Amino acid sequence: MKNKKILIIGGGVIGLGIGWQLAKSGAAVTIYERAQAGRAASWAAAGMLAPLAEAHIEEPELLKLGSQSLALYPQWVRELEAAAEMSIGYRVEGTLIIGLEPDDTHQLRHLYASQQDLGLDVTWLTGRAAREIEPALSPRVTAAIRCESDHQVDNRLMVKALQRAYQRCGGVLHENSAVESIHIENGIAAGVKTRDGEKQNGDVIVLSAGCESAQIQGLPDAIRPPVRPVKGQMLALQMEAGITVKNVIRTVRARYPMSVYLVPRTDGRLIVGATTEEMGFDTRLTAGGVFELLRGAWEAVPGVYELPLLETWTGLRPGSRDNAPILGETPIENLIYATGHYRNGILLTPITAYEVSKLILTGETSETIAPFRVDRFLA
């Protein structure tokens, strides 16, 4: 496979991660990115590596994949930081899921019970114990669940590192070059055509275009990846002395208002997210969205009221029909999917990059990604 030409549609963390692994093995790789590499969902994300906090009892396969990817993170960080000669801000302080009212405590207990049923390594804390770990938390905190193994990475640094590592291995990156269609001949993917009319033949085509994946023409309707945009509004505050946290903080609100998460960065930024909105490709920031984020953050950590507001933004998560990614072979020969990572794109980058590149280089699908093929949606 080394001499073959691989075309990747989409230059987010998934496309760049797969491209880097392939280019490192000597393959000829070209990535087509419709705008700037890594500036869509990969940039908008908060970088939480949270298979435990985001675990759902009805999604055991996704929990397993997320946990496997989290376990790969130390190796991934070592390799990527060495290749790119820069830090990607990987932090291992862990995550606290907090409640602020008696109703929230009931919901937390329910969550804790299902985490225990799943055999997850989580600890129940009183409000006081949570505040001993994070003194900036509100005195209203009633209880918390500690997920020590849910870590975080600075996704924007990871984007920069991946682009650098990929290009240093000889990977070709075409930015502002949207792929309009995939060319399929006799059931075999043979190339791509860009919106500018450029045609390129390839031996393997990888579709990793995030929430745009279903928009690419040329695919039979039956196997079009069922991926839609799910909007998230976010903002960043600047932490100051006395108003800092070290853990990722997530709120659980049984009733109104919205649950939020707060993610502290090494450079002092505090990322606050996120709304979850079914608004198609609308990327507008709204007063209501920002209001809910600020209110949720203020309820968890009242001191944020004093902090400078640095940035606001929105992103579109690539949500699949069952919230799990779509990975691996398709009914079309030489067409590989790596899309639909929804709320877990940053977490799932290492396992997607290692497994999909191995599939392309060896032709063998591992047990790990077999449950995530697009076939699961076919009647």
Binding footprint of ligand GLY on the chain (CB under 6 A): 46, 48, 232, 273-274, 317, 343
Cis peptide before 257 (omega within 30 of 0): yes
Owner of token pair 């069952």: 322
**Residue 27 or residue 348: which is nearer to ligand GLY going by CB?**
348
Q: Residue 109 burial by CB count (10 A; 0-12/13-18/19+): exposed, middle or buried?
A: middle
Least distance in angstroms from the C-beta of 165 to ligand GLY: 24
Least distance in angstroms from the C-beta of 344 to ligand GLY: 6
What are the structure tokens assigned to 131, written together?
């505040």
The strands making up 204-207's β-sheet, listed across from edge to edge, are 172-174, 28-32, 5-9, 204-207, 335-339, 326-329
Least distance in angstroms from the C-beta of 273 to ligand GLY: 5
**Residue 19 or residue 318: which is nearer to ligand GLY going by CB?**
318
**Residue 152 or residue 163: which is nearer to ligand GLY going by CB?**
152
Residues with Cβ within 8 Å of residue 374, at least 6 apart in sequence:
223, 225, 326, 328, 330, 331, 337
Least distance in angstroms from the C-beta of 94 to ligand GLY: 16
Cα Dmax for the chain: 65
CB 357 within 8 A of CB 21: yes
Least distance in angstroms from the C-beta of 47 to ligand GLY: 9
Residue nearest to ligand GLY (CB): 343
Least distance in angstroms from the C-beta of 346 to ligand GLY: 8
**Residue 343 or residue 358: which is nearer to ligand GLY going by CB?**
343
d(CA 146, CA 153): 18
**Residue 48 or residue 97: which is nearer to ligand GLY going by CB?**
48
**Residue 202 or residue 319: which is nearer to ligand GLY going by CB?**
319
